[in-house]
Amino acid sequence: MPASPEDLHTSRKRNVDEDDRLVALAKENREAFGALYAKYWEPVYRFIYKRIMGEERVKDIAQVVFIKAMLNLHKYETRGFAFSSWLFRIALNEIADAAKKEKNLGIVDVPADGKEELVLEPDIGLRDFQLEQLVEALNQSSPEDVELIELRFFEKRRLREVANILGISETNCKVRMHRTMKRLKATIEKLK
């Protein structure tokens, strides 16, 4: 049976509370950071894996993300989100830096159900298009637009979480998302 919204909310809240406890411990004792590392290694690794070519490079960047998180942990504040949001934000900066320095390193990994996720979004009104058209439209989109689409649709994150990862307000995120989808739709329509 699918989880109810209340169940999801409770589960998220529990997760945030647990993260807060782990962060508090890690601020006191850096060895305690190991628990956060163990908990979020896989999500961070996969987050980078979807954006960077080469398993070695992915692993290196993931390690750098945790090193930076540990160095800056004293400044981290929860704001009601899981610790992973902060890690993802650091990861996005690292990915951008790495992709700038090395050509052909950055990728956009369109999941098998990526097209369907876009179709399911009622506001967009995107219908009857091919995966190839989506790929071409993404190629023609700005990096910022692609980043939003990846976070929201390919990774199925809530708008609040996307806003938090990008370090912008939820309202700004909504506006950006709306504009991004309008542009994507226009590009796909042209390609049809």
Partner 1 sequence: MNRKVVTGRTHPSSEEVNSLQNFGEIIGGVSKIRRERRIKISLATAAAAIATLIIGLWPSIDTNDQTTAELSTDSKTEILAVDSHSDLETLYPIQVENYDINPEVDNLIVTSNGTLIDVPAGSFSGSENVTLEFKDLSDPMTVFVSQISMDFDSLGVKYHFQSGGMFELTALSDNQVLLMNDGSEIQVSYPTLTSDQGMNQYRYDIETKSWTYDMPMPLDQLKGVCETHKVDFTKQQSKRKAPNRLTDFQGEVDAILATVPDEPQLASSKHYKFHFDFDPLDFPELAGFEDIMFQAKDSRFKRSFYENSWDAVELKKGKIGYSIVLKNGIEEENFNVVPVLQKDEYESALDDYENAKVEAEAKIDQFGEVQAAHKAWIDDVRSRESEYEFVSRDKAKVVTSRLITDIDEMTMYRTFNLPSLGVVNCDIPFQFPKGTGIQADFVGKHDDGMRRFAQVQLIEMDSPSYAAYHMAEYLDFRYRKGKKNLILAADHEGRIAVGTTDMFNGLKVPKGETHQFELKWMEGSFESLDELKAELHLLTDDYAM
DSSP label of 112? T
Residue 104 binding partner 1, by CB under 8 A: yes
Neighbours of 70 (CB within 10 A): 15
Whether 116 and 69 have beta carbons less than 8 Å apart is answered as no
Q: Which of 33, 81, 83, 153 binds partner 1 (CB under 8 A)?
A: 33
Q: Both tokens of residue 148?
A: 């939003």
- Residue closer to partner 1 by CB (options 18, 41) is 41
Q: Which of 18, 78, 140, 158 binds partner 1 (CB under 8 A)?
A: 140
Residue 191 binding partner 1, by CB under 8 A: no
Residue 85 binding partner 1, by CB under 8 A: no
Q: Both tokens of residue 58?
A: 């992915």
- 119-147 burial, b for 16+ CB within 10 Å, e for fewer? beeeebebeebeeebbeebbeebeeebbb
* Minimum CB distance to partner 1, residue 35 (Å): 10
* Centroid of chain to Cα 132: 23
Q: Which residues form the interface with partner 1 (CB under 8 A)?
A: 30-31, 33-34, 37-38, 41-42, 45-46, 49, 51, 53, 55, 59, 62-64, 66-68, 70-72, 75-77, 79, 89-90, 93, 99-100, 103-104, 106-110, 112, 114, 123, 131, 135, 138-144, 146, 167-169, 171-172, 174-176, 178-179, 182
